[in-house]
Amino acid sequence: MFDDKTDVATRRHIPFEGTPNFRDYGGYKTRDGRAIKWRQLFRSGELSKLTDNDQDQFGSLDIRIVFDFRRDDERLKDPSLLPESAMPEMVPLPINPGNAVDFVEIIAAGTMNSEQLAGFMCDVNKEFVFDQSEQYRKMFSCFLNLDEGGSLVHCAAGKDRTGFAAAMMLSALGVSRETIFADYMLTADYLSVDKEVARISQKYQWPGEPEVMRPMLEVRPDYLQSAFEIIDKEFPRVEDYLQEVLGMGEVERNWLQSRYLV
């Protein structure tokens, strides 16, 4: 068992040239004293800029299935670049952040200030719980058919849509809320907000001050907490949410735990 405090850089984060926030979200201890296997569960940002070296490394990880939470237009604009010799099953599960207001229109208009964008990001995470639950339910359904090999969950930056996916998987495996948030916040160690600001500014031709966008591109505990507050308000336990909304009852969670825990 590795100590996350000392081995996080060498064991958890996997350095890729073309996607900075690629990491293993296994290895964590569960509340009952077991641990998640390493090199089975991965998370990242988009995979459209992988180099030849990256593709070789990706192939060595034995990733059998990739869950892509990007919108359809994101996938078409920036298709994943993966090794043909080790091509995983690709499962598109498009999530459009911001059901109430079109995300792209918000960016293009450039009318929100930093505080409003932070609130918008909280609202986005709240929507994952029910409005986008069908996509996460499909993800879990696929997990139940994955008998061997690794999996990858990803979106554009690998923080919000991916963050909720990883949080629910860790919850199903019996990991503590504290550990789930620690994993969520690791994105801040690997993803440059400055580079993300420049990327989004160019991608959407942002007309306002680029710095205003920082809350949208940062990883903040308040964002994920907004989703858990909805779950905690509606259900006695997160396990009840997993069962009633995501189709992960006790039998299914036990199967996952037998598959991924040691």
For residue 185, give every residue at least 6 positions away whose Cβ sits within 8 Å of its Cβ, in sequence order, or none: 219, 221
**Could you identify the residue written with the tokens 């641990």?**
35
CB atoms within 10 A of CB 257: 16
> Please, is 111 exposed, middle or buried when counting C-beta atoms within 10 Å of its C-beta (0-12, 13-18, 19+)?
exposed
* Residue 3 pLDDT exceeds 50: no
Per-residue pLDDT, 220: 96
Separation CA 67–CA 197 (nearest Å): 25
Query: Parallel, antiparallel, or unpaired for β 41-44 and 150-154?
Result: parallel
Whether residue 120 has pLDDT greater than 70:
yes
Q: Name which residue leads in pLDDT, 107 or 161.
A: 161
Number of Cα atoms under 13 Å in the Cβ half of residue 80: 27
Q: What is the pLDDT of residues 11-58, one digit of tens each?
A: 899 999 999 999 999 999 999 999 999 999 999 999 999 999 999 999
Please check the confidence at residue 100 and state whether its pLDDT lies above 60.
Answer: no
Mean pLDDT of the chain: 90
pLDDT recorded at residue 127: 95
With a cut of 50, say whether residue 2 has pLDDT above it. no
In this prediction, residues 134-163 reach a mean pLDDT of 97
Ramachandran bin of 120, using left for φ above 0, alpha for ψ from -120 to 50, beta for the remaining angles: alpha
Q: Which residue has the tokens 């440059």?
A: 192
181-207: average pLDDT: 84
pLDDT computed for residue 5 by the predictor:
53
Task: Name the least confident of 7-11, 15-19, 91-95.
Answer: 7-11
CB atoms inside a 10 Å sphere around CB 6: 9
199 band by pLDDT with thresholds 50, 70 and 90: confident
Arithmetic mean of pLDDT, 120-135: 95
